[in-house]
Structures are given as C-alpha cells and as structure tokens.
Amino acid sequence: MNPAVQTSEDARRFGAEQVEHVDRMNPAVQTPEDYLAATSLVEALTALRAGASVCVLAGGTDLMPQLHAGRSKPARLLLNIRRVPGLDAIGIEADSLRIGALTTIAQLLVDPLLRTQAPLLAEAADHFASDQIRNAATLGGNVCNASPAGDMLTPLLALDAQVELAFLGGDGSARTRRLALDGFFTGPGSTQRKPHELLTALLVPLAPTGQVARFFKSGSRPALDISTISIAFSARRDAGGLLHGVRLALGAVAPTPLRARRTEALLEGKALDAALAAQAAASAAEEAKPIDDVRASAWYRRELLRNMTRRMLEDVART
Amino acid sequence: MSLEPEAARPREGRAHEIRFTLNGVQRSASVGITMSALQMLRDVIGLTGTKYGCGEGECGACTIIVDGLSVNSCLLFALDCDGRELTTIEGLAGDARAKVLSQAFVEYGAVQCGFCTPGMMVQATHLLATQPHPDAAAAKRAIEGNLCRCTGYQKIAQAIVAAGQALAAGDQP
C-alpha cells in the first residue's frame, strides 16, 4: 500500500485501508480480555449495555485479520452472537423481505425466497470472496464492517434496505428501531449503530412488478478481490418503459458507499435510451469522489464508473 | 512451532476451555480469545496437516470442514469451535470419497510441492459431498479460494472432475 498515505488527515479523506495504517501505528494494540458467546438476544443486548467496550463477532472473516493486524477497534469484551437463535432466518414480514443479520453470504446465494424477492442480492453474493468465506461471512457483518468497498452494500442501498437495530429496553426486554441504510454509513468502518445496539436484520421491500436491477463489481480476478468499484442499479419500469424509483448506488468511490442522487433524478420518469445512458453515466462519474490507492487511481475509477454505468444502463434499455 | 513471528500476533487474552468434535473424536482445548482455529489445530492439538499460508483467507491452505461447510480455519476464532464438529485433512484419511479424490490427484499430477494440497483436498471433498458430479467449471469455481503456485490449476480441476466421474461409475464410498 502507498506509504505516503499515513497521516490522520489522509485517513479522514481516504478509505478504510488508509485508516488501517494509522491504527497500526497505535501502540495500544487491543486484545479483548473477556469473551461471551451469547445464547439469547437479551443476553447479547445486556452485555452490550453493560458499558464496557464490546467487539461483536459473527462470521469473523473480517474481524480476525483486523485483530491480527492490530487494526480492530479497542474492546474489552468479544461478544460472539453466532449462537443467538433466530438471527439467520430469511422470511417475509409485511411488505418486506426480512434477512437476519447472521444470514451467511452462502445462504443468500441459494435461498429461494431471496432469489425471487431480491435477486440483486443473490447476484452480488455470487461475486463475494470465495466459497470458504461465503460459508462463514454474514450479511450483518458486511454491513457493520462498513467498508466503502463492501460487496453487499451497494445492492442493499439500491434496494432501499433498512437496518433493524436492537437494544435493551428499560424493562429488560429487547426493543428495536429501524433506520434507512442510506445514511447509516458515516465513514470507513463507522455507522450510526450506537455502542449498546446490535444489528439484527436487514429489511428489503419485496420486489415490485417490473423491477429491473443490475450489479457490477470490478476486480482483477473473479474471486477474493476487493472491488475497484461496484455499481448497483434498481428501478421499476412501467408498461410505457418509463423508470420509477430509480436507485443507483456506487461502491469504493467515496469514504462510504453512496447513492448517486443527481443521476437518479436525471433518470426518474424517463425511458432509457443510449443518449440518456451516456448522460447518466457522465453524471454518476461526476458524483463519485474516488481516491488513488493500491487498487486503482482516482482517474481510472472515474472512467471505469462512467463506462460501466453506461454499459449497464444500455443493457437495461435493451432488455 | 509458532505460525507467525511473535510481534505479528496479538495478545491472546484469557484462556477459555472449549469442547468440540474433531475428526469424529470428542476433544477439549484451552484457547486464547484471539486464537484462530488454525493455530489451535497446529499449535495446541498438533495436527499440522492443515497449512498456514496467508493467515487472512486469501489462499485456502487452511481449509477445514465445520458443521458440514468448508471454511478458512485462519479466519475462524478457536473459541467459536465450541460445540461444533470439525474435520481436517487428517480426518479425511478414512473417508472413501476423499480416497477416490486423492487417487485422482496422484493420477492427474495434481500434486506438485504439496503445500496447497490439504486445502485443495478438503475443499474438493466438500464440493463432491454437495455436488457429486461437478464439471470443470464447477470444479474451478469451487477452488476459487484456494491458491496453488505450482500446477496452474488445470490438473487439480481435472482430478476433481475425474474423481466425480469415478464415484458416479461405482467406486462408491
């Protein structure tokens, strides 16, 4: 990685990998002193509310390398939530698909309900790491890890996902609040989840009639690559070919995954053709704020984003 | 024999006692909080068939089966093995499917230096257990998370496909 990018100022500007340089230089490498494998949600929430700093463990596929590189956040307690029952289910709740936080990426690939109601997530899961990692990594972990390049984050944003956060109520029972995923990410590795809260589920509206959705991830090889950029698109197309509820989410081109709002507005209510696709692609490239890093230059990311957005939208126009 | 230089390791935190099934046998072990399952297998239990390649899930040399699914043991917290069922390359010694597979590895020259072989074998056994007759594309897809610096992968993929065919032809486990 680029050794020049090591100041805290750079860490604020740049993505997660630059932040790791800064943390690595911090001599206080923090090993949790205690461990708890919670077997109920209330037990987990009680541990979270007890005040000591807590590091939540689910699949561990991100956390283990972070700990060993000395770039995990300091914590006194390692809280393993993998034995909390009911957090790995996929089901329908009202007009949403409810995906438990402990659902593994491998489950997303094969779940029949998810393949019907949120096929974009299954498609993104197919581009995720390797079989071994898909078998362990969880959707909730991918969201809480909040990498600008997190593979599941752009499709979740494009599908208007909400996060469900649980916390211990005053009466000792589990309470929940919901937040839009859009706005949940506050920076590389940071979210709006409060220290006493646990992410318990992602909620995705059931696929509307006429939904068109696409996912693109760029990497130097199909497996195990951290994306250079990723793009997720979703919209409803009416009988007249007009797009509604347009969502375009971009990954690895800013400190957090982001929605390209001006580009969405440009496409809203319109019928896609080659000219509009090119215009939207230029707009998306303008909305991105990419950086130079080990995987690509900012210039390359922007060009890649422009070209792949155009191709993606042209493909939508053709089908 | 330690896996990493001392400086690269975090302090392991207070030791905890865990119980699990390893290759069909009930075991217990005392493990630190940040210890990986790989470290436990090699340093605590002394089963060195599972290899340490990269320590961050990129190479697959440490692949083991946990509760019927293949995972990178370097990314698995040893503590999280509590109550679970682990199978390592050593545990495949008596597995009829793995025997057919290892014969195919020999026949097709899928083993050169041998460092990636335990991980390849475990991952391919997992593939054959879930998808008995993989074609070349499925075999390649399955070992995406396993690096080999010798063979160029062709021979490994061929061996996996051949093992599937041999099993289908009646060399049944």
Considering the domain architecture, whether residues B70 and B39 belong to the same structural domain is answered as yes
Predicted confidence (pLDDT) at residue B10 exceeds the cutoff of 90: no
Cβ–Cβ contact A266 with B under 8 A: no
Q: Are residues B47 and B76 in the same domain?
A: yes
Q: B91, B117, B141 — which closes off a domain?
A: B91
* Interchain contact, B14 vs A34, CB within 8 Å: yes
**A151-173: pLDDT as tens digits:** 999 999 999 999 999 999 999 99
pLDDT band of residue A30 (cuts 50, 70, 90) is low
Looking only at the bridges linking them, the beta strands covering A34-37 and A77-80 are parallel
What per-residue confidence (pLDDT) applies to A291?
84
Residues B10 and B87 in one domain: yes
- The answer on B83 and B17 residing in a single domain is yes
* Distance from C-alpha of B64 to C-alpha of A141, rounded to nearest angstrom: 21
Closest Cα in chain B to A32 = B13
Query: In the structure encoding, which two tokens stand for residue A285, read together?
Result: 């490239």
Cα dist. A312→A212, A221, A280, B116 in Å? 11, 20, 11, 38
E strand spans, chain A: 34-37, 54-57, 77-80, 90-93, 96-100, 162-168, 174-180, 185-187, 190-191, 198-205, 211-218, 229-237, 243-251, 258-259
Same domain, B103 and B36: no
Q: The domain containing residue B146 runs over which residues? A: 95-168
Architecture of the CATH domain A90-205: 2-Layer Sandwich (3.30)
Span A295-304, pLDDT tens digits: 889 999 999 9
The per-residue pLDDT for A220 is 73
User: In this structure, are residues A87 and A43 in contact, taking their beta carbons and an 8 Å threshold?
Assistant: no
Which helix (H) or strand (E) element contains residue B120?
helix B117-130
Is residue A256 pLDDT above 80, yes or no?
A: yes
**Domain spans of chain A?**
8-80, 90-205, 211-318
Domain annotation covers residue B73: yes
Strand pairing partners for A57? Answer: A80
Compute the nearest-CA separation of B57 from chain A (Å). Answer: 7
Asked if B137 and B68 sit in the same domain, the reply is no
Give the pLDDT confidence of A236-254 residue by residue, as tens digits: 999 999 999 999 999 999 9
- Is residue B86 located within the same domain as residue B112? no
Check which CATH number belongs to the domain holding B85 and give it: 3.10.20.30
List A residues 11-50 in contact with B (Cβ-Cβ < 8 A): 29, 31-35, 37
**Last residue of one domain, picked from the residues B26, B61, B91:** B91
Q: Say if residue A125's pLDDT is above 90.
A: yes
pLDDT tens, position by position, A59-84: 999 999 998 888 887 899 999 999 99
State whether ipTM is beyond 0.95: no
Neighboring chain B residues of A32 at a CB cutoff of 8 Å: 13, 33-34
> Same domain, yes or no, for B114 and B82?
no
What angle separates helix B96-107 from helix B154-168, to the nearest 10 degrees?
130
- Same-domain pairing of B103 and B64: no
Count of domains observed in chain B: 2
CATH of residue B102: 1.10.150.120
B46 and B62 inside one domain: yes
* Interchain CB distance below 8 Å, A33 and B9: no
In this structure, the answer to whether residues B49 and B112 fall within a common structural domain is: no
Distance from CA of A279 to the nearest CA of B (A): 37
Q: Which of B91, B106, B128 is the last residue of a domain?
A: B91
Report whether CATH 3.30.390.50 matches the domain A211-318: yes
**Whether residues B111 and B61 fall in one domain:** no
Rounded-to-integer distance, Cα B17 and Cα B27, Å:
11
Please check the confidence at residue A91 and state whether its pLDDT lies above 90.
yes
Residue B173 falls inside a structural domain: no
Instruction: Give percent of chain A with pLDDT exceeding 90.
Output: 80
Asked if A77 has any chain B CB less than 8 Å from its own CB, the reply is: no
- Confidence at A27, pLDDT banded by 50, 70, 90: very low
pLDDT digit string, tens, across residues B57-96: 999 999 999 999 999 999 999 999 999 999 999 999 989 9
Mean pLDDT of chain B: 92
Tens digits of per-residue pLDDT, A276-292? 999 999 999 999 998 88
Residues composing chain A: 319
